Structure 1
Amino acid sequence: MKKRMLILEDGTIFEGTAFGSDNASIGETVFTTGMTGYQETISNPSGCGQIIVMTYPLIGNYGVNRDDFESIETAVNGVVVRELEDEPSNFRSGMSLGDVLMMKGVPGIQGIDTRKLTRILREKGALKGMLTAAGDTVSVEDKLEDVKAYKLPTNLVTRVSTKKAYPSPGRGERVVLIDCGMKHGILRELNKRDCDVIVVPFNTPSNVILSLFPDGIVLSNGPGNPEDVQVTIDIIKELLGKAPIFGIGLGHQLLALACGAKTVKLKNGHRGGNHPVKDLLSGRTELTVQNHGYAVEEASLSGTNLEITHKALNDGSIEGLKNTEYNAFSVQFHPEASPGPEDANHLFDRFTDLMKTNNRKEQLNA
């Protein structure tokens, strides 16, 4: 078995066994708390540029199947687990996690103390890290200097957004989905409601989007710092008031920035399932799926036309907003789940109802 190291920028080194690709990689090391859903996690474009630490101790036991990918290609830079199951047992399994990572060129490390690693990340926040081969010929000091010198990329959305527009036809409302790193689950939920969806790149000009005659616009999830995607923020500003808008994940943050608010980086971020969120409008608490490292700054909402609709019960951070002037709302979590609880799935119904109501108003005013 080949040996591999995880070298963190603070000088902490873990040595374990390699699996997946033989490639070395550098990325932002973060942890996710889901007990299941590793397939969706490694294929979620929001994880682009990250080395993902799975806190659950046994990963890979039910394998990987054809149906649960959230994108065609994996976006993560590496996977860290306590124990990897090489012989999965599930009737849906088509391949082991290790084989998938090998095929996709993603390195992994197993056999390290992921509890200790998670405690370090909880204390210090996300850290830059490197997955690299271990051995007498490896200069740990040189590798550590490479990690420290590494600058986190600012073009992550460019990497994962579609390069060309494409349709996902339906006979219902026309939705233009701005792809900043879209999970397929969002598209599935819109298709379930018979929406006629056109997926467009993150930098599609507003006049091109409006020429598609949208009944509504969805801003997808995606990776990285929302302030790095100024082109999309400017596009959203031009789209406000033209059609109902629904933002998810990064799309929530971009909508907030377009309306004059600010975003901040969280120390640890929220990643995994079963995060409790309170809907301030209904008083209901919902368990949600989350995957984000940034949040909207509450103090920055003063002077904007944004109103808080959802709050995280764990840390009080903003999880949902609505624009009081325009038909626009957003949530930080993932109502499409994939994986995780589907408590907030009704938000897609809210969006389709908003499009239908808006269309009726336009017809009456015509």
Structure 2
Amino acid sequence: MSGRGPAAAVLVLEDGRAFRGRAYGALGTAFGEAVFSTGMTGYQETLTDPSYDRQIVVATAPQIGNTGWNDEDDESSRIWVAGYVVRDPARVPSSWRARRSLDEELVRQGVVGISGIDTRALTRHLRERGAMRAGVFSGEAIGPEPDLVARVREQPHMKGANLCAEVATTEAYVVPAIGEKRFTVAAVDLGIKGMTPRRMAERGIEVHVLPATATVEDVYAVNPDGVFFSNGPGDPSTADHPVSVMQGVLERGTPLFGICFGNQILGRALGFGTFKLKYGHRGINQPVQDRTTGKVEVTAHNHGFAV
């Protein structure tokens, strides 16, 4: 059922604050950690990024859905966000690549969302109080607010959540190099985005994508020139198996690299700890300074933990 009708919706945070609006996407109930993403565009990639598993994503850009939904830009086989929060959904998508509206795709995949709320106020609240458990309730799922708050508080925290195996591939697969093959990379999938091995392939790299449960023996069975650990969801302090695999790679001296969750795994493998950030860094417009040169680059980030 489309959320474009008059159905009401409410977003409830674990601290008791509530935001009332209109249903967007599927009707029903969604639970997850409320986080905000500052990207002005790229919502399709955000929604299909496995790193957002069990998170209710708040879009800080005021209008979402302008370019609709196409069949080329998905980062995985499905939408992974638990729920979606927008201020002003586009009434009509405007892109020659669009195949349907964002609302229609949310309905098709059963993703519960809410629109028409003050996302600026919500973002400021999360910046001050920190990311927290939340629930989106729409249509017949709406009940007395105290009851909804109680249901939200029954949900598990993101701290301590072991999610990478939940989103990773269960079978190894190969993304062949485009053009002349230059290198072979073993990529441990902790929630990898589809574009990552494709970008490697464009640079002459044959990528063997391995499950999160892969062993050191599995990694070296593909005779890699380098080993890559991907992004992914959850708390890196729970990822003991990937840490042990990375330690095995470090012992052999094979070049390795990783992003996001994979970088946090590297920190743990080197003996450092990880901790949960107050509200994390999520978006495609995060400035980062290279301390050795002073140069600032605008980068894409999606993480709620740090080394």
- TM-score bin, normalised by smaller chain: over 0.9
Q: Secondary structure at the match of 2:70?
A: coil
| Distance in 2 between residues matched to 1:137 and 1:147, nearest whole Å | 13
| Distance in 1 between residues matched to 2:279 and 2:84, nearest whole Å | 17
Deviations 1:265-304 (CA, angstroms, capped at 9, x unpaired): 11110011221112234443211011111111xxxxxxxx
Among 118, 125, 134, the alignment partner of 2:123 is 118
| Distance in 2 between residues matched to 1:241 and 1:259, nearest whole Å | 11
Worse-superposed segment, 127-136 or 74-83:
127-136
| Distance in 2 between residues matched to 1:143 and 1:75, nearest whole Å | 23
- 1:295 counterpart letter in structure 2: A
Q: Secondary structure at the match of 2:72?
A: coil
Within 5 Å, give how 1:1-366 maps onto structure 2: 1-133=6-138, 138-152=143-157, 154-170=161-177, 171-242=181-252, 243-296=254-307
| Distance in 2 between residues matched to 1:146 and 1:2, nearest whole Å | 21
Q: Secondary structure at the match of 1:119?
A: helix
| Distance in 2 between residues matched to 1:162 and 1:152, nearest whole Å | 24
| Distance in 2 between residues matched to 1:150 and 1:137, nearest whole Å | 17
Q: 1:134 offset after TM fit, Å?
A: 5.3
| Distance in 1 between residues matched to 2:116 and 2:76, nearest whole Å | 28
Deviations 1:134-191 (CA, angstroms, capped at 9, x unpaired): 5797232222111112113623212110011011122221110000000112112101
Count of paired positions? 296
Aligned Cα RMSD in Å?
1.5
| Distance in 1 between residues matched to 2:141 and 2:270, nearest whole Å | 55
| Distance in 2 between residues matched to 1:192 and 1:23, nearest whole Å | 42
Which residue number corresponds to residue 332 of structure 1? none
Deviations 1:70-101 (CA, angstroms, capped at 9, x unpaired): 11111100000001113101111111111111
- 1:181 counterpart letter in structure 2: G
Query: 1:5 touches 1:134 (CA, 8 Å); kept in 2?
Result: no
Alignment identity in percent? 41
| Distance in 2 between residues matched to 1:194 and 1:209, nearest whole Å | 19
Which residue number corresponds to residue 331 of structure 1? none
| Distance in 2 between residues matched to 1:181 and 1:210, nearest whole Å | 20
Q: 1:264 offset after TM fit, Å?
A: 1.2
Structure 1 residues 22, 194: CA separation in 2 closer, same or farther (over 3 Å shift)?
A: same
Structure 2 gaps of 5+ residues are: 1-5
Query: 1:86 touches 1:98 (CA, 8 Å); kept in 2?
Result: no
- 1:285 counterpart letter in structure 2: V
With normalisation by structure 2, the TM-score equals 0.93
Deviations 1:7-64 (CA, angstroms, capped at 9, x unpaired): 1101111111102112311100000111111111101111111000001111001111
| Distance in 2 between residues matched to 1:127 and 1:248, nearest whole Å | 24
Structure 1 gaps of 5+ residues are: 297-366
| Distance in 1 between residues matched to 2:12 and 2:78, nearest whole Å | 26
